[in-house]
Every structure is written in C-alpha cells, then in structure tokens.
Structure 1
C-alpha cells in the first residue's frame, strides 16, 4: 500500500474517533442499570463513585464533574464499596434505563444499618425530580422509608434517570446497594427477620437461663455470661440499626455512640467471663493483672474520646481491641485446657467459632472474600454457636461440681479405715428399711457387734496393728452378711448391722455365724498369734419399739448383756407383744 494512502486512512480514522467523542452522549461514561434488574444481592459494582476528598460537594458540582471530568469517576472492584473507618463521604452515580412505555416501580436499598446519612437525588436531564434522606443522624420518623436501612422507592418512567447517592458515616464505609422490585425487597426483609429472630431468640433464651442460675446459686460466672450475651445483643442491635428502630427511634446522639460503647462492653464482659470461668486469677495471676490493666487503659481513653466527641477515634480504638480480644480469649482457652480444665474445651471451641465468624465477616466486608449475606452474617452465626458452647461449658462445670459434691458426700458417709458405711451413711438406709417394715407390718432386726478386749491389742501391739485387725474384721463381717443386709462401723471397735425382713430367730443365726467366723480368725504379729472374739446384741422391731432409735438402744442393751455374761456370745431379746425395753430380762 502506498505510504500516502496509509497516511490518509490513519488521518481519517483519527478524525472519525474525534467526531465520535465530540458527539458522545453526555452520560456515556456513567454506568447504566436496566430497570428490569431485580436482584437481592448487591449491585454496587454497577455504580461509579466520587470521593469528597477536598470538602463537601453539591449536587450541581457532582453533575458537573461527572459530565466534564468523567475520568475522576471510580469503579468498585467488587460487589460492595469498602472505604474503611473515618473515610470521607462518597457519591455513587448510575443511570437507570427504562425502555418501556409504562412506569416501573423499583427500590434502592443500602443494606447496612450503621450509615450516618444517605441522600438520594434523581435527575431527568437537568431537572432534579426527587430527593430523599435517611441515616442514623435522623430520627426514624424523619427518614425515607422509616426503617433501619437507606431505602428509596421510585416509579421510573421511559428514558434515562440518573441516580446520585451520597453516603456519609464515621463507622466503616461499607456500601452494599441493591436494586430490585418491592416484592423482592420484602422477601429479603422477611429472610433477615427470620435470621435475626432465630439468633436473638437463641441468645436471649441462654441469657435468661443463666441469669436465673445466677439468681439461684449466686455464682459470678453466670452473671458474667449474662452480661457477655447481653452486650452482644446490644452491640448487634446498635450496629444493625434494629435498636434505634425498636428502642430509641429519636435518640440520634445515642445511636452515634452506642456501637463503640457496646463493643467495649461486649469485649470487657467477655474477658470478665473468661477470666472467672477459667480461673485465670488463680492459675495465671500475671495475665489476670495484665488484662485488668489493659481494660482500664482502654476505658480511660474511650471516656476521653467520649468527652471530646471524637466518634471516629473511638471506633478506631474499639476496632483495634477486637483482634487483641480474640487472641486473649483463644490464649486463655488453650492455656486452661492444657492445664487440665475439662470445661475449657467447650470454651475454646466456642471462642474459635466466634473468632472464625468475625474473621469471615471482616474478610467479606473488606473484599478479601466474595461478599455474600451468609459471609456478612457469619459473626452472628459464630456468636450463636459460641453462646451454645459456653452454656455447655457451664453445664460441664456444674456436672464436675456435682460429681465432686457427690464424691465428697460419699466420702463423708464412708468410714475411711474399713470402707464400710459410717453412722452418717448407715442411718438413712436403715431408716428407709424401718419405714418399709412399718408399712408392710414386717420385721427388721438390728445387731450391734463389739470386739472383746480390743484395747489390749492396741496397747500391746500398737494402733497400726489395731487398725489392721479392724480392717480384717470388717472384711469378715462383709463376707458373712447376706445380700440385703446393711453393715456399718458404729464407732471405735463397734459395728452395726441392719437385717431387713428378718425375724429375731433368723437374726440370731446370722449373727452367730458372724461370731464363729471372727472367733476362728487368727492374725500373726511379731511371732505371736492374735485372736479376736466379738460380743453381739440383737433386737427385733416386733416389740414395743416406736422408732429405729429405740431398736438401736435395745440392741445396745443386749450387747451390754452379752458383755456382762462372759463375752464372745450373741444375746437377742424382745419378742412380739413382749416386755417393754425398760424391763427386758437381764
């Protein structure tokens, strides 16, 4: 091709491109949204945006910049716009194209409940056709839509309608924008209501349950758990905007400071619960003092910021404590678990669930993970799991306490030398058999056994030998008793046996077997043989005895009778319709 021909063609293409740019539509560089779009998910990537980096902009200034300097328009690189804490206000701009002859109703929702102010402007050509304002700096009654989100409904007519959204907040600048029909928006709202009802219901039920436990047993760990879950609810309500809509619709200043305040309350109460539940003050006193100092320092700095009305700084301070809080909770859980605290495993799993949930939400908000509503709500799901696992941890601690108490009660009812029931363990069982015998008009016998001349064994061979004799006699008696008989150590060298559903004659035969078994036992000590005999007194209920105590007294009198008539024998007394205890035969 000749060089002049090639040059002419290049010049022609350049002139054609220049002509196209000169006659391009005014809004050609503004993203367009088809009015038929109807999605629950965020479409922020379908908008362009400007940052008020050099001071506030008016609607006219924004339109002028969009028309004359389109290169200043930025595009979100994900489905939501993320700018961080303390970011300057942003303007989002998009053109809604309506090719149909009939107007179409569409709703724009900014699905974050902590935005301070959202202004929407709709333009047709150079005319401003609609203005609406919402956000936390307005009472609920004065907001567009009167709900917790920035929500704007409009009938879009044929042609192109420019949408301008100005978003301002001291909290993290996170802007998910949905463009949908009213029906789709209602369905999403119902989905949100079901989700939060479930989360709040679970947490509230566990909170009230543990508060009642605290009222009943006055252990501080239940109070700290209640405060921890209560602070989570308050923090969540303040950040989602549900708190302002439901509880403080006109308290604009309170809504500005409630999120950082409740964040501190949540983390401080969580650390208080963890240190108490894991007994950090006892096992790690240095760590406990460090945590207290840290909390006090953060609280003082927060109060200074509150007095100075530095909300953005207070939010940065609160968010700076979040990773430290998670690390401390995990560290305390791991340390306590490794130290042998069985309940710490539930605490550790719960803390992992809440930490993972918070991380997923954070990564979703910051764009590290694809933004989804499940990811955005992962922190709530994680906290609900944490709440359940912490209740299991408390229940496991209660179970350990009950096991320890039962073990202590059992030990209190058992003679440590012989392993038999002591008086405290014997009497309740004997009383139950006595009551049964009374109801059925049956019999029950009591036998009291005393080792003869036992003091001489202690004096001659020492108490260690005496203890060995007592242990062996207890074993002989335990082997000789029948199934159902109740054996106990009554005190010193005395033993007691309850023989349910046994007549006096049967009791005499059983106790005589005791006596013979003891008499034939021999123990060798220091080259000598130690032999022991036993005297036994037996009494039956089927006399004039009015209580178990009466029966024991009569059995003791029969024992005295056996002792006084030569020892190493069984004396049984009292028959049905016989003599009263005071006139038993001697």
Structure 2
C-alpha cells in the first residue's frame, strides 16, 4: 500500500521472470532496462492531482491496460496517459527488439504539455531543415542532370521520414493508425536511409569509379542487403528470428558506415574534392552509431538524440559538399567551354569561341547603342616565313602577333584567331574616336614589327582591315565579310596606307 502522495511504483518482469522495482516521483523520471522480447510493467500510483505518465515508445510495441481506475490516452509523440487523482493501477506490456533503456516520466498536465510543445517545435525545425534541403538541392540540380543531386534529396528525405516515424510526430496527426508506431515501419525507413546514404556518398566522391569492385561488393551490395533485412524481419516466423535479423541489420549498418568512413579518409588523403567535408560529417555519424548500437546503456541522451544531432549537422555539411560539387561542375563546364573555344597555340579564342563571344557583343550594342570596331588582321608573306625558316618559327611569329593584338586591346574586347595567319579583334565603344584610336594603335604596332625567334630576329608586317559599325550588323558573318573586304583593300594598297571604311 502506498503511503507517499504523487508517485508511482513500478514493477518490471520480463520473459525470464526477472523482476525490477523502482519508483517515479512527480515531475521526475525513472529508468528501467528492457531486455529483448516482451516485458510487463506494473504501474501503481497515488496522486493528489491528475498527472501524465509517459515514455518514448519508438522501437517498441506496447499495450496499456487499466486494472483499477481509468486512464486516458493523450495525443502525443510519446506514449502518454492521463492518470486520475487518487489510487490507480495499470499494466503495460512492452515488446522490444533490443536491449534498451526506457525512461518513464510522471509530470503534471501543464508541465507535460509545455515539454511536448518544445520537443515538437525542435523536431519540426529539424524536419523542415531536412525536407527544405532535399527540395532545394533537387531544384538547383535539376538542370545539371547529375544523379548526385537526386541521390542527396533521396537520402535526406529517407532520413527525415525515418526520424519522423521514430520520434512519433505522425501520432499528432494520425493517432488512430496503429502501424505508424510499428518498429518494423521504423526500420524499413532505416534501411532506405542506409542504402540511399551509401549511393549518395559513393557517387559524390566518385568511389564507384575510383574503387569500382570494392565499392560494389563491400558497400553497394551490403547496403542492398540492409535494405532487404527489414522486410525479412516483418516476415520472420517468430520473434526470436526477427530480433536476430534486426541485430544483424544494426551491426551491418555500423560496419558499412565504418567502411565508408575509411574510404572517405583515404579520399581525403588523396585530396579528392569535398572529401574533407564528408569526412567530418561521417565522423559525427559514426560516433552516434557507436552509442546507438554498442554503447546503448552508456548515455541515454546520446543514445536517443546523438543520431538526430549528428544527422542535422551532416545534412548541412553534405549540402555544402553538394554545393561545392555544383561549383566544381560549373567550373569544369566553363573550363571545357573555354578550352573548346580557345586557340591552344596563340592563347586567344579560336573561330568557334570568338564567334560565340562576338554574338554577345552584338547584343550589347543593340541594347546600349554605341559603335562596334572590328579589325581583321592578316600577316603579309607569312607563307614565305614558313618556307624559309620552318613551321616552328612560323608558330613563334603567330604567338607574338596574337600577343601584340591582345596587349593593344582591352580585357573586354574579343580577340581571336580565325585560322592560319588571320586574326580578329572586336570592341564596343560609346564614342567613334575610341574606335579610331584602337585601330591606329594596333595598326602601328603591327607595321614592320620585329619578332625574336629561335633563328634570329625577323621583321614582319600585317595588313589590318578596319570596319566600324554604328548600326548592329545582321550577323557575325556579315560583320566578318565587311572587315575581310577592308583588309584585302588594305593589302592591295600602297605600303603604309590604311583605309578605314565606315559603315
């Protein structure tokens, strides 16, 4: 018979008839250790005021039975029952698939509501983070057509759903759906989380390319097995087999995380892009997994919240890593485009690259007005240089010519080599005088200029055809034809003469 007020006496008996007794006081908590299998927890209370008896029931199936007095189940992410004032007696049958600490709390109704609101708010922020990151990365990565972004979104979504089921927030919206609280539903989402994480990380760091066979046999296939195990657990013929499958899944997951962590360490050592970020993120998850699987009774807080906290940080770090990946992809794409549009010999644009940039300059003049100045440059008697001194010397002359044109132009001007000994320079000015200044400057520098080559100094001259456009030409081709014509007129004219043809 209870003599103290506002407390509950607890008596736990498991399958082996091991009995443990403890007491939980008002606004305090008490811990009991559950062995795998079914246990019966007897609850005997004497209360001055109605109070809430609660515990976290994730990964545990339970039934509550009133023996004396009538309790009322509350809608909460926890198993929570409002116990009436006076004497009460009830029994809870709990089935768990692992050794686990069960923290039982006895709180006033107002205290319980306040605590639940804070917990749900914190978890709501966490879920918002997960699904916002998943959607954000999916949207920004859609046009890049890179599977890494889809895998990141898939992984974060699976993990978010896993925690949503495990933490019981779905009970707030669907309190009458029993399967939402099922341990099997929780581990099914856990399996998807492990599988999607392995796919994402191996793709992010290109492990499937660097270590193809090892990744396939020691990561992808084991992760696939972990994905299947929850379904095997559901179909297990007895509870003991289900518990065994769940234990194998837990340790397999820990081993997979350890293998991935080791590979990421090696990738970081090799200075693989973003491997350092992934290393730190996985380190946090690995520590949390150790507390979750091996050190289950060491620290109840880390056992329950460690994985959530580590995943929240990991989500941010993986988002950063994915962002860096996007940046690298864009840089590689731009570099590839630049490389495709670049003349390797002269370090200026080739015809393809120059034409693309020239289109942009045409649009700029159409929008802002002003003048376009196009110089078409052709080396005089360049074939003779090749015939007398060889193509190596000819290449040296081309390089110097390109450098003179580039140095005589602004950074915003478009300089290119169309092929052979033909060069072009296109500039946009707001004043006509600026066009004439650029024309004169480059023409003077290309008139009988000396080139130091491997066979000595050679004097070279270039014919420069200039065309100024006050109105935007219809196309780049039309613009080139006009400047080409001006260049040939210049080449045919007397030495030193240079005619500017205004459009």
The answer, yes or no, to whether TM exceeds 0.5 is yes
Answer yes or no: is 1:367 the counterpart of 2:297. Answer: yes
Query: Which of 309, 325, 343 is the matching residue for 1:397?
Result: 325
Query: Which of 40, 43, 58 is the matching residue for 1:90?
Result: 40
Query: Which of 238, 252, 269 is the matching residue for 2:196?
Result: 269
For structure 2, list consecutive stretches of 5 or more residues without a partner in the other structure.
none
Describe the SS at the equivalent of 2:163: helix
Farther-moved stretch of structure 1 (205-214 vs 382-391)? 205-214
Show the 5 A alignment for 1:353-432: 353-360=284-291, 366-369=296-299, 371-372=300-301, 376-427=304-355, 430=358
Distance in 1 (alpha carbons) for counterparts of 2:372 and 2:421: 23
- Map of 1:351 onto structure 2: 282
Query: Which of 421, 433, 448 is the matching residue for 2:376?
Result: 448
- Map of 2:49 onto structure 1: 104
| Change beyond 3 A, Cα 1:338–1:117 | same
Q: Deviations over 1:501-520 (max 9, x none)?
A: 4458656633541343xx14
What is the CA distance between 1:272 and its match in structure 2? 1.3
Distance in 2 (alpha carbons) for counterparts of 1:453 and 1:187: 91
- Map of 1:150 onto structure 2: 79
CA RMSD after TM alignment: 3.5
Q: Deviations over 1:461-489 (max 9, x none)?
A: 22111101111222233445578765332
Query: Which of 261, 265, 275 is the matching residue for 1:334?
Result: 265
8 Å Cα contact 1:534-1:569 kept in structure 2: no
Answer yes or no: is 1:212 the counterpart of 2:157. Answer: no
Higher normalized strand content (fraction of residues): 2
What is the CA distance between 1:104 and its match in structure 2? 2.1
Farther-moved stretch of structure 1 (537-546 vs 397-406)? 537-546
For structure 1, list consecutive stretches of 5 or more residues without a partner in the other structure.
1-26, 38-42, 56-71, 123-128, 133-142, 577-586
8 Å Cα contact 2:73-2:82 kept in structure 1: no
Aligned residues: 491
- Map of 1:125 onto structure 2: none
- Map of 1:10 onto structure 2: none
What is the CA distance between 1:178 and its match in structure 2? 0.8
| Change beyond 3 A, Cα 1:131–1:174 | farther
Describe the SS at the equivalent of 1:193: helix
Distance in 1 (alpha carbons) for counterparts of 2:285 and 2:472: 70
Farther-moved stretch of structure 1 (473-482 vs 74-83)? 74-83
8 Å Cα contact 2:76-2:116 kept in structure 1: no
Distance in 2 (alpha carbons) for counterparts of 1:76 and 1:339: 56
Distance in 2 (alpha carbons) for counterparts of 1:485 and 1:91: 82
Query: Which of 81, 91, 97 is the matching residue for 1:171?
Result: 97
Distance in 1 (alpha carbons) for counterparts of 2:371 and 2:349: 22
Q: Highest CA radius of gyration, 1 or 2?
A: 1
Query: Which of 77, 81, 95 is the matching residue for 2:32?
Result: 81
Distance in 2 (alpha carbons) for counterparts of 1:189 and 1:484: 61
Distance in 1 (alpha carbons) for counterparts of 2:360 and 2:227: 60
Distance in 2 (alpha carbons) for counterparts of 1:474 and 1:114: 72
8 Å Cα contact 2:192-2:227 kept in structure 1: no
Distance in 1 (alpha carbons) for counterparts of 2:221 and 2:51: 53
| Change beyond 3 A, Cα 1:146–1:347 | same
Distance in 2 (alpha carbons) for counterparts of 1:388 and 1:543: 52
Distance in 1 (alpha carbons) for counterparts of 2:179 and 2:463: 89
8 Å Cα contact 2:393-2:453 kept in structure 1: no
Q: Deviations over 1:550-575 (max 9, x none)?
A: 44323212222233346x54431435
| Change beyond 3 A, Cα 1:358–1:205 | same
Describe the SS at the equivalent of 2:348: coil
- Map of 1:241 onto structure 2: 168
- Map of 1:494 onto structure 2: 422
Q: Structure 2 length normalisation: TM-score?
A: 0.84
What is the CA distance between 1:151 and its match in structure 2? 2.4
Distance in 2 (alpha carbons) for counterparts of 1:256 and 1:481: 71
- Map of 1:19 onto structure 2: none
8 Å Cα contact 1:444-1:498 kept in structure 2: yes
Answer yes or no: is 1:282 the counterpart of 2:209. Answer: yes
